[in-house]
Amino acid sequence: MQTPKFKRIVLKLSGEALAGEKGFGIDQDIVNIIAQQTKEVVDLGVQIAVVVGGGNFWRGATGSHTGIERSTADYMGMLATVINSLALQNAFERHGIPTRVQTAIEMRQIAEPYIRRRATRHLEKGRVVIFAAGTGNPYFSTDTAAALRAAEIEAEIILMAKKVDGVYSADPKVDPLATRFDNLNFMQVLQQRLRVMDSTATSLCMENKIPIVVFNLNEVGNIRRIVLGEKVGTYVRGED
């Protein structure tokens, strides 16, 4: 068995990633592929926490433009992340991965409330922990939730799953001259306003010295490759 480079990671999934080509809802084929890739990493002895967005059902910022009060729209988005978290939990457990969902908004009938010590204990026992409902506060993205939870559980790295193979100077779908970065530091991300995480999440990672890898989720095996130390996607770190 190959030796993993990281012992504890946070995997950040967008809600859109779960929708696949459908663009809305949950594509079970995609969810099963994520579960299979997660199982490969769990079998290496790596502790995994997952933060998932809710954009495949609802985005708070977008909803607020329709006339819904922003805080209400954001809470609706948090509930969407819970739906996705339960779908992931179901797929993980069908693949033999013991999983717990913890929510920042209490809903005890379907998930545990977020308790940091309990979460770390689950991880130590080899369970995957899915953090749902963002930070539990409006105006904060699930990117920020991923950065916050990573700091709280002392994760060594955040894996940002995207539909592209890294961070580009511009949208590669729009600009054919866009170039991909192999390595970046946090100040470059902030100053150039690169689309890695929002600025709050990026600052949290920078302050807590948590590196980020931005990679293509659609390339099967990428999560395992990253964990084993292979060069995949774009690596974002603190300044040398």
DSSP assignment string, 15-66: HHHHHGGG-SS--HHHHHHHHHHHHHHHTTT-EEEEEE--TTT--HHHHHTT
- Spatial distance between the Cα atoms of 70 and 156, rounded to a whole number of angstroms: 33
- Would you list the domain boundaries of the chain? 8-189+204-237
Looking at residue 240, what is its pLDDT?
A: 57
Contact between 39 and 226 under an 8 Å Cβ cutoff? The reply is no
DSSP result, 226-240: HHTT---SEEEE---
| CATH superfamily name and code, 8-189+204-237 | Acetylglutamate kinase-like (3.40.1160.10)
Among 64-68, 91-95, 208-212, which stretch is predicted with the lowest mean pLDDT?
Answer: 64-68
Q: Are residues 202 and 144 in contact, defined by beta-carbon separation less than 8 angstroms?
A: no
Query: How deeply is 52 buried, as exposed, middle or buried, from its count of CB atoms within 10 A (0-12, 13-18, 19+)?
Result: buried
Q: Provide the β-strand partners of residue 185.
A: 237
What is the pLDDT at residue 191? 93
Is residue 184 within a helix (H) or strand (E), and if so which, with residue range? strand 183-185
Can you read off the two tokens belonging to residue 70?
A: 């922003």
pLDDT digits (tens, 9 = 90+) for 91-130: 999 999 999 999 999 999 999 999 999 999 999 999 999 9
pLDDT at 225: 97
What are the tokens at 154? 């002392």
Q: How many residues does the chain have?
A: 240
Burial class (CB in 10 A: 0-12, 13-18, 19+), 200: middle
Q: Six-digit token pair at 45? A: 């002895």
pLDDT tens for each residue of 156-198: 999 999 988 999 998 888 898 899 999 999 999 999 999 889 9
Residue 1 pLDDT level (bands cut at 50, 70, 90): low
